[in-house]
């Protein structure tokens, strides 16, 4: 069984969603629910911190694209931060990095 946690933290004008674990077909609802919560405060932008993400499958990518659309429809920007490992490789290979604003700060190795 795969596990994903998504904790939402509210700040002045923006929300941060910290995700940890595996983002796949079994866990996308966790991300979608967290994004709905993050958007509830009508932030200017939402940051998804993927530092603790250990896996991202095709359904995970689909969920990220879905939350990107949800943010745009809500009138705010979405930013991915601490992109690394499997997610970085998948975004590079599929060229989906072009679909997101990605914080250039990398996870310390």
Q: Can you give the pLDDT at residue 2?
A: 80
Q: Can you give the pLDDT at residue 88?
A: 93
Torsion angle of the four alpha carbons 97, 92, 35, 79, in this order, in degrees rounded to the nearest 10: -40
pTM: 0.91
Q: Can you give the pLDDT at residue 107?
A: 46
- Residue 72: is it exposed, middle or buried by C-beta count within 10 angstroms (0-12/13-18/19+)? exposed
What is the pLDDT tens value at each position of the chain, 109 positions in all?
689 999 999 999 999 999 999 999 999 999 999 999 999 999 999 999 999 999 999 999 999 999 999 999 999 999 999 999 999 999 999 999 999 999 876 544 3
Q: Can you give the pLDDT at residue 82?
A: 95
3-state helix, strand, coil in the chain (%, to 5): 40, 35, 30
Q: Can you give the pLDDT at residue 108?
A: 43
């Amino acid at each position: 069984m795969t596990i994903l946690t998504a904790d939402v933290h509210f700040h002045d004008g923006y929300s941060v969603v910290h995700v940890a674990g595996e983002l796949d077909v079994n866990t996308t609802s966790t991300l979608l629910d967290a994004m709905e919560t993050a958007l509830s405060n009508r932030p200017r932008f939402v940051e998804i911190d993927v530092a603790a993400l250990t896996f991202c499958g095709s359904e995970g990518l689909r969920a990220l694209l879905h939350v990107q659309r949800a943010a745009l429809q809500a009138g705010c920007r979405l930013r991915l931060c601490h992109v690394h490992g499997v997610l970085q490789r998948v975004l590079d290979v599929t060229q989906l990095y072009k679909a997101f604003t990605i914080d250039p700060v990398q996870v310390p190795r």
